[in-house]
Amino acid sequence: MDWLRRPMPSFDQAKAKLNLQDSCDLGVMTVEVDRIIGSVGRWRDFDASFRLTNPATKRRFEIISQKMQEGYEFPPVELYKVQDRYYVADGNHRVAAAKSLGVHYIDAHVREFFADPEHEAATVYWAERSAFEKATGRSDLDFARPDHYRRLLSALDRFRRQETKRHGYDLELPAVAQTWKQDIATPVRRIVRREGLTKQFPGWTEDDVVLHTIRQNYGLMRAIRGPELANYREAIAELVETHNERVASW
């Protein structure tokens, strides 16, 4: 029933509500399709689920959907970012096709917009998060503490140097950020969930607790071995081994 469909949010509505003023170019990154919730100029052509409401563009949608299923590589869509949500500036039908096909991620050229500087706490948070996402290309981390974005950037820079030494060639930060996610953060996340550690940190997200646990164990290794010999991979391997031994003894 079409009358039950919710209208699509427009960027102009968000701009007026949050008094968006400054913006910065984040470049090309991978974005979660579920976080794309509105449009800049075509919001009348879709509903809130990115289903077509304008039959005149149905053929265009079908062609794009077919090409997407065949593996055709489209150029990045253009998105405007507001906090942790995105609005389509160009590529509405590509986003609509991706959503209809169950695609989870899409490449996008992103410009982020910021709220009125009078809202100081929110401005600081999103400025920290934006700087992190621009440097790493990752937009999937939700810290409650804005300084954790800066602390993770610092940790990633140390990890990058360690990985460069291990491989024998320079590594770019976005690639290192993905390696960190897989090899460092994921094993710690399993421990955090298994032991229910988030209950010990009211107001923190799981991402906050994971980073805190990593920094705590790496800091202990630094204190014992010294800064030059401390290594994130070894610190987390020791943590996982200790955890597994404790679980085995239960």
Say which residues have a Cβ less than 8 Å from residue 166's Cβ, sequence separation at least 6. Answer: none
Residue with tokens 């202990």: 220
Query: Which of helix, strand or coil describes residue 89?
Result: strand
Q: Is the pLDDT of residue 146 over 90?
A: no
Degrees, nearest 5: CA angle 246-184-140: 120
- Among 208, 20, 29, CA closest to 133: 29
Separation between Cα atoms, residue 226 and residue 218, nearest integer Å: 11
Mean pLDDT of the chain: 89
CA 47 to chain centre: 25
Residues 6 or more apart whose CB falls under 8 angstroms from that of 84 comprise 35, 129, 139, 142
Residues 19-57 have pLDDT tens digits of 887 788 888 888 999 999 999 988 888 998 899 888 888
Residue range 188-194: mean pLDDT, rounded: 95
Q: Which helix (H) or strand (E) holds 67?
A: helix 58-69
Q: Report how far residue 68's alpha carbon sits from residue 61's, in angstroms, rounded to the nearest whole number.
A: 10
d(CA 60, CA 55): 10
* 1 vs 39: CA distance, rounded Å: 23
Q: What percent of the chain has pLDDT over 70?
A: 93
pLDDT digits (tens, 9 = 90+) for 58-76: 999 999 999 999 999 999 9
Average pLDDT (226-232) is: 91
